[in-house]
Amino acid sequence: MTTKTTREITLPTEPFAVNIGPAHPSTHGVFRMLTTLDGEVILNMEPIFGYLHRGIEKLAEERTYGGCVPLTDRLDYLASMSNNLAYVLAVEKLAGIAVPERAEYIRVIMAELQRIASHLIAVGAFLNDCGAFMTPILYMLREREKILDLFDMVCGQRLTYNYMRVGGVSQDIPEEFAPALKKFLKEMPGWINEYEWLLKENEILLARAKGVGILTREMAINISASGPVLRASGVEWDIRRADPYSIYDRFEFDIPTGKAGDCYDRYRVRVEEMRQSLRILEQALKDLPGGEVRSEVPHLIRPPAGEAYSHIEAPRGELGFYLVSDGSIAPYRFHVRAPTLINLTALNDMMRGWKVADLILIFGSIDICLAEVDR
């Protein structure tokens, strides 16, 4: 009888580079990740963008202040109302223009509806990246359509709205808007509860997202992260509370935060933020005053020479517009502080040491819109 002996042989491996994107279904646009791998383990990741650059900042410097509003729609096209709002606030600050009370309330209503619509896409797409196929996002697109119906009533558009104006909004809400919004506010909490029942303790989601892609509190602060990405790391910072704009200081709402700063916390924060947006909407609708919806503003606005920066809490974080005026009808300098671009700076640190399958999940948890990254 002979005994066979086995010998373990360790074969040396060599790191290799793999391009993920720029046309990959899970890169959420034409984003390219040049990854260095050791087998399936990520050693390094270099983010590469610029494929969607359209020169919007330079285009804006050749347009009138009012004519720049449609350009802001084309930044974060999943939150166009928020882009409109941040820009007109900057122009109003630069030119010293007051806004009627009713217009302020309407702006808040549109911004919070837009936050819910954006988070529905963010959560649905994230779950799709988890490998849940299309079912969760179809549930969430169902509710997003209700919000798009409300936007359609107001401005006739469902994606790029061009609704905000310097000094107010383009037109008042129609009679059917308030009843439709009340119906939505009554039904939406039940739909969120349905998501929670299906997903919050889902063992696959927990296994895929808990403890994965951790962004520590210190790192989040150091990179100037904002929005749900920052709050998921345990930092209670929301511009609506920290530096109130418009009339946000009149509303009661909580600031949801996470503890671990992982993919699961980023998902949870967005779900809870939808509940808080519903609270703000109920208060704004209840207190909505009558009156004008736009101040008397000249067609060609000529702000005095100077500069202004205005920022808001957009769905993806701090969205800011920096404007410089030379006294003419067009901005001398027009610059956008895009939250997605800043939030992406920690992506390499969040991914190193994880597997390729986790890469897609970590990237999806940031919730990017490449149109505002490239501009």
Structure confidence at residue 229 (pLDDT):
94
The yes-or-no verdict on residue 111 having pLDDT over 70 is: yes
How many other CB atoms are there within 10 angstroms of residue 184's CB atom?
19
Torsion of CA 94, 100, 102, 104, to 10 degrees: 20
pLDDT tier, 5 (very low <50, low <70, confident <90, very high otherwise): low
Angle in degrees, 0-180, between the axes of helices 80-95 and 101-127, rounded to the nearest 10: 140
- At 238 the pLDDT is 94
pLDDT recorded at residue 4:
60
Q: What is the DSSP string of 84-146?
A: HHHHHHHHHHHHT----HHHHHHHHHHHHHHHHHHHHHHHHHHHIIIIITTHHHHHHHHHHHH
Beta bridge partners of 18: 35
**Per-residue model confidence as pLDDT tens digits over 99-109:** 999 999 999 99
* pLDDT digit string, tens, across residues 337-354: 999 999 999 899 999 999
The mean pLDDT of 232-246, rounded to a whole number, is: 94
Determine the 3-state secondary structure of 32 from DSSP.
Answer: strand
With a cut of 70, say whether residue 6 has pLDDT above it: no
Using CA atoms in the order 188, 256, 121, 250, what is the torsion angle rounded to 10 degrees? 60
Q: What pLDDT shows up at residue 292?
A: 93
Lowest mean pLDDT among 106-120, 121-135, 297-311, 349-363: 121-135
Residue 49 pLDDT greater than 70, yes or no: yes
Q: Which domains does the chain have, with CATH numbers?
A: 52-374 (1.10.645.10)
* Residues 325-333, mean pLDDT to the nearest whole number: 94
pTM score of the predicted model: 0.92
How many percent of the chain have pLDDT more than 70?
97
Per-residue pLDDT band for 202 (boundaries 50, 70, 90) equals confident
Instruction: Give the confidence band of 135 by pLDDT, cuts at 50, 70, 90.
Output: confident
pLDDT (tens digit per residue) in 141-176:
999 999 999 999 999 999 899 999 999 999 999 999
Residue 133 CA neighbour count, 13 Å, CB half: 1
CA distance from start to end of the chain:
75
> Could you report the per-residue pLDDT of 253-271, keeping only the tens digit for each?
999 999 999 999 999 999 9
